A and B are shown apart, each in its own frame.
Chain A
């Protein structure tokens, strides 16, 4: 039926194409570090990194209200902001605090993930210090007060007068305690 020589060529091609398929499987995984690097370099999604503030000019003519929201996802932790909201001028350095307590019976590791409202305001809230920059380890019954230091960027559109900064604590699975908190994509 199929000559032996052709069979050999066919088999070679099969091996090459299978290798290519395997390579593309690897490519899918290669997108993970590439994506993280891309986000880091372009600063698209650096929620968990320290921002730098270049222009510290305080704009006394404007007021912006920041509201704080605290949530816990599936952990026996109690988590709340000390102040529900603050009024600040754009460019003004402000520090607020959050209370956290582990009501469970075990030591747990949590990671807070910030999110912002309105949708695209993440770029305007520059965090200089935040408990979300690293994982928090709380022993059973332990409590702590944690600071957030930020500046609202002066380029915030004038139509925006209220911003919401919301944190959610997620449990860091035991198998993955080593994950660095600084480089989330």
Chain B
């Protein structure tokens, strides 16, 4: 038995000894360098094909790959459709401020348009339905999501008077979800992978939270909350802490959504570029393709999860701000940061 194990382990090592040089492509460095250009333009959306392959040295090429990845992630005024060419968007400047329409702005418009069309269709069908009819197809799918947000997110976290905030929560959920999903479609760009977009969304949540707190407690109660209910001698410490605490919540919302959406794309692109950096088909087959597909599927899940978490945390903050229980609830909210 021992002997068998020994033989097996030796066979294993032999396989490794064959595989490792193959993976590192010691046997045929020249293999496939001619066809690489077409592969690059096929799989990676943005660059002209030559740019990745040109660098002769490993380190130099790695930097090129990094540039390509950043180019793909960041915002710019070019909408590229690789095999067919690209659309340049106009540059608009008003009073020294650059307000030109960029890739992400276009994606935001596309998302808004899709949502308007989708929900007019669903709403129209709903109006036509009689009370005893069951919704089917698209209407049913949307109803499931809307009901999920209404009951499990809004009602569970805000409680009494959640209807006022339901419109915002539903809007932000579907908006973020569609932005995330369109980032995974070929030729699409992730608008939520832009920190300006997420900061804007978080700012809406911030103002809603503050207005909910003001409405629930009045201006006096709101200011009393800033003291944390402590002795006046501690106010020197408590007020700055509570004041900063007001702003950490929206900043956390911003960074979370932005970093999640950006990180996934960077990981997918890095996995694809490993095969170009190592110049190996075997790496492409063994590593790049399966792992990037896996991360892509993970991203699909993360798109839903992050939309849900953004909505959930917005609802939670609103609920905590408008809670009438007083300082126990409040401190729970602060302690969570």
Instruction: Note whether A and B form a binding pair.
Output: no
Chain A residues proximal to chain B, CB less than 8 Å: none
